[in-house]
Amino acid sequence: MIHQTSIDLQIPFHDVDMMEVVWHGHYAKYFEIARCALLETIDYNYPQMRDSGYAWPVIDLGIRYARPAVFGQIITVRAQIVEWENRLKINYLITDKHTGLRLTKGHSIQVAVNMATREMCFASPVVLLERLGLEAS
């Protein structure tokens, strides 16, 4: 079962430099917007995570830039869950909406932290597996 979603964003002026190219740090924001949309599809976005007793901090973020996004461009950001058993790994792909040309790809890794004890979990909590429609092992 593949869990993925895509969102479209138009690059705003406040995200670009004087050359009208998106500043590299904003790609993490675009990933976050897509990640939240993806988590909404399984009804396990940040409020639901909190309510289930777990925080899910990002512990790793990787970004590979191929081509720049520019002011006014409409981009598609795809987020796909690729690992879930011991950590939550989401892959991202940013493309030009009209041409499909790849601009950027990346990933984020999150781990579950028990909010009551502040201890990191070495396996994903059952609640995540249930939201993904998987049997808990």
In angstroms, the CA 23 to CA 132 distance is 34
**Does the predicted TM-score (pTM) go above 0.85?**
yes
**Over the stretch 68-118, which tens digit does the pLDDT of each residue have?**
999 999 999 999 999 999 999 999 999 999 999 999 999 999 999 999 999
Q: Which residues does 57 contact at the CB level (< 8 Å), separation at least 6?
A: 110, 111, 113
pLDDT confidence tier of residue 1, bands split at 50, 70 and 90 = low
pLDDT confidence tier of residue 2, bands split at 50, 70 and 90 = confident
CATH class of the domain at 3-131:
alpha beta
DSSP E strands in the chain: the ranges are: 3-10, 54-55, 58-65, 74-83, 88-96, 102-110, 113-114, 119-120
Q: Report yes or no: 31 and 85 within 8 Å, Cβ to Cβ.
A: no
